[in-house]
Amino acid sequence: MSGSAGNFDEMHNADGTVREAYASYCSWFDEQKTALLKRKHGEAETNFRKTGITFNVYGEDEAEERLIPFDMVPRVITAAEWRKLTRGIEQRVSALNAFMHDLYHRQEIIRAGRIPERLFRDNAAWLPNMVGFTPPGGVYTHIVGIDLVRTGPDEFFVLEDNARTPSGVSYMLENRETMMAMFPELFMRMPVEAVSDYPRRLAKSLAACAPKCAQDKPVVAVLTPGIYNSAYFEHAFLADQMGAELVEGSDLRVVDGRVAMRTTAGYQPVDVLYRRVDDDFLDPLTFNEDSVLGVPGIMDVYRAGGITIANAPGTGVADDKAIYSFMPEIVEFYTGEKPLLPNVETHRCADPDELKYVLDNLAELVVKEVHGSGGYGMLIGPTSSKKEIEEFRRKIVAHPENYIAQPTLSLSTCPIFTKKGLAPRHVDLRPFVLVSPDKIDITPGGLTRVALREGSLVVNSSQGGGTKDTWVLKD
């Protein structure tokens, strides 16, 4: 078994021999009886059903709960590969945080002519309320998910930045727990870095960002939109694992200039709010007045230094795919260094020359909405019909500034377990990064998403993708 033609196979060399990273795994796999592996595969699914790890699929006639498929063949990354990724991720996340501060203060990068002003002026995620305000500790992006793709032995690219509220970390943790329960002997054979301490690291990182008014042991709470949100399982899971309170907007109110949560002993001030509610719904007095998910007056408390909101309101600007196309310039501007992790080549349709190139080559390109997410609002040229391409062409011509285009990448493949044995499928990786005033902490591993359909490049769970456990080997 080797990767699809022209794709980098993470398990096998071109001559069919096993790569060093997978040597121990493959020798273990060859010793296993097929019937046992098939049974274990079924057990994994049962375990996920019991745990209740589901997500909601929106945009269909009926919002439904679905299980995200789990594949039991781990994705293995060597210590040397991980060190290289870590340096690139740290550089990028540090630049993102500096960029956020600059955008809401002096806007030096715009004055220097490195990015056009229209990028944030026309951006709904840009919040005028944040202008001139610095969050506690100077941290804007407390939790970041950087989506990476691999195209060769030493070639990793950043596909997108998730600086608003990256999700998926509960799958990383549950995938590992499931693998350890099913194959404890594998972890005896292979020195795999732990991920289970992520909630403790998250709690510590958030506490380090507490405002000056906090007590010695800052109170951290997780704000969820409620049980109908697609990632509710994750909100509850993380609060429980961190030892933090899980709260909804109705549990919070402003009391004596602080945001306080309802407890059996009355209202208790909250120092750090890890919010999984979008900016627009955070404060009905400042943003969407119809919102019942947020806390009236929280933005006033925030600007007065009475609470830390993670991630900071207004960080959604960095998730924009038009901003993404300028990340090489952004990294260089704030760090003085060339990016260690390159972007995927990106054509901005707002530029007339680039637009002409995109329209002439739609059948070969991937086109994305600049504000889109989750695999929606995109065209994958090589797998689209002529009719779909022409429909998308009309959308681009009508609003070129809303689109960017990228070449169709030869994503690397990792094997999945199928009825016929191991078969290659395309993967990406989302490492989770924690930022506090004096530290950038990257959990060794992350969420590997896998396109389960043969030949498919779409790994999003909402589009039929699955997940794998990601193993970073120790030296």
Residue 123, number of CB atoms within 10 A of its CB:
19
pLDDT of residue 42: 87
Full-model pTM: 0.92
pLDDT in tens, the chain (475 residues): 444 557 899 999 999 999 999 999 999 999 999 999 999 988 888 877 776 665 544 333 444 556 788 999 999 999 999 999 999 999 999 999 999 999 999 999 999 999 999 888 778 899 999 999 999 999 999 999 999 999 999 999 999 999 988 888 999 999 999 999 999 999 999 999 999 999 999 999 999 999 999 989 999 999 999 998 888 989 999 999 999 999 999 999 999 999 999 999 999 999 999 999 999 999 999 999 999 899 999 999 999 999 999 999 999 999 888 899 999 999 999 999 999 999 999 999 999 999 999 999 999 999 998 876 655 678 988 888 999 999 999 999 999 988 999 998 889 999 999 988 899 999 999 999 999 999 999 999 999 999 988 877 777 766 678 899 999 999 9
pLDDT of residue 244: 97
Whether the Cβ atoms of residue 158 and residue 53 lie closer than 8 Å to each other: no
Written as six digits, the tokens of 414 are: 């990792």
Indicate the class that CATH gives domain 212-306: alpha beta
228-266 burial: b if 16+ Cβ within 10 Å, else e: ebbbbbbbbbbbebbebbbbbbebbbbeeebbbbeeeee
pLDDT of residue 59: 39
> Residue 111 and residue 131: Cα distance in Å, rounded?
16
Whether the Cβ atoms of residue 301 and residue 112 lie closer than 8 Å to each other: no
Cis ω before 311 (30° cut-off from 0):
yes
pLDDT of residue 128: 93
Phi, psi at residue 439, to the nearest 5°?
-155, 140
> Residue 79 and residue 75: Cα distance in Å, rounded?
13
Q: Does an H or E element contain 440, and which?
A: strand 439-442
DSSP states of 86-107: HHHHHHHHHHHHHHHHHHTTT-
In CATH, the number for domain 347-407 is: 3.30.1490.270
Whether the Cβ atoms of residue 435 and residue 99 lie closer than 8 Å to each other: no
Written as six digits, the tokens of 327 are: 């990340």
pLDDT of residue 376: 64
pLDDT of residue 315: 95
pLDDT of residue 61: 40
Residue 75 DSSP code: E
Whether the Cβ atoms of residue 311 and residue 164 lie closer than 8 Å to each other: yes
Side chain identity, residue 34: T
Side chain identity, residue 446: G
Pairing of strands 143-152, 155-162: antiparallel
Bridge partner residues of 401 (DSSP): none
The answer to whether the 212-306 and 347-407 domains have the same CATH topology is no
Q: Does an H or E element contain 182, and which?
A: helix 169-182
Written as six digits, the tokens of 245 are: 């309170």
Residue 59 DSSP code: S
Pairing of strands 245-247, 220-223: parallel
| Side-chain half-sphere CA neighbours of 61 within 13 A | 0
**Helix-strand-coil split of the chain, %, nearest 5:** 35, 25, 40
Best CA proximity match to 412, nearest among 429, 399, 398: 429
pLDDT of residue 62: 42
Length, in residues, of the chain: 475
Q: Where are the domains of the chain?
A: 20-211+307-338+410-472, 212-306, 347-407
Written as six digits, the tokens of 21 are: 């990273």
Best CA proximity match to 174, nearest among 474, 469, 396, 475: 469
Please measure the distance between the N-terminal and C-terminal CA atoms of the chain and give it in whole angstroms. 28
Q: Where are the beta strands (DSSP E) in 264-360?
A: 266-269, 272-275, 308-310, 347-348
- CA 306 to chain centroid, in Å, comes to 28
